[in-house]
Amino acid sequence: MTGVYAIEKECFHDPYPIEFLEHLIKTENSRFYVATQAGRIVGYAVATASGREGHVVSVAVDPSHRRMGMGAGLLASVTCKLVEAGVDRIHLEVRKGNRPAIFFYERMGFQRFSEIKRYYPDGEDAWVLTRQAESSHSEYQ
């Protein structure tokens, strides 16, 4: 857990509390993936499913390991699990000012759907991005 939390703190201005991440590991175990290199956690992704709707809660990769395909692999893995769970659509939230993340998600097939004003604790707005779930697990592996 400490490795996941270290990535969380490194990647986000407002990291999820460690208790929330522990809860996700317990409740979403089959949809919680970690990437390791030399035995060290360098990224993670987690998603939830509710009925026909999937939600990517978080994708985080250590800055020194970005642009190596880890984020794409992690997102493809959780997307595959969401497809297996029978979801039709997948959504996520991303800071409007996080252009690299927006570009990454759009490259992975997500499109801007709506916005949420003052979504983040510091008051920044979020884009809600969405995509169809069908066959998305095979497109990026």
8 Å CB contact between 128 and 115: yes
Average pLDDT over residues 92-105: 94
Average pLDDT over residues 69-96: 93
Rounded distance between C-alpha atoms, residue 25 and residue 109, angstroms: 26
pLDDT of residue 89: 95
Burial of 25 (0-12, 13-18, 19+ CB in 10 A): middle
Share of the chain above pLDDT 70, in %: 94
8 Å CB contact between 74 and 56: no
Rounded distance between C-alpha atoms, residue 11 and residue 26, angstroms: 22
β-strand pairing of 89-95 with 111-116: unpaired
Q: What average pLDDT does the structure give for the chain? A: 90
pLDDT of residue 5: 93
Q: Does the structure show a pLDDT above 50 at 104?
A: yes
Give pLDDT tens digits for 21-78: 999 999 998 899 999 988 899 999 999 999 899 999 999 999 888 888 899 999 999 9
Q: What is the tally of structural domains in the chain?
A: 1
First to last CA, the chain: 26
pLDDT of residue 141: 40
Question: What CATH number does residue 122 fall under?
Answer: 3.40.630.30
pLDDT of residue 114: 95
pLDDT of residue 68: 85
Average pLDDT over residues 111-118: 94
β-strand pairing of 89-95 with 32-37: unpaired
SS3 115: strand
User: 131: domain range?
Assistant: 2-139
Q: What are phi and psi of 118, to 5 degrees?
A: 55, 40
Q: Does the structure show a pLDDT above 90 at 110?
A: yes
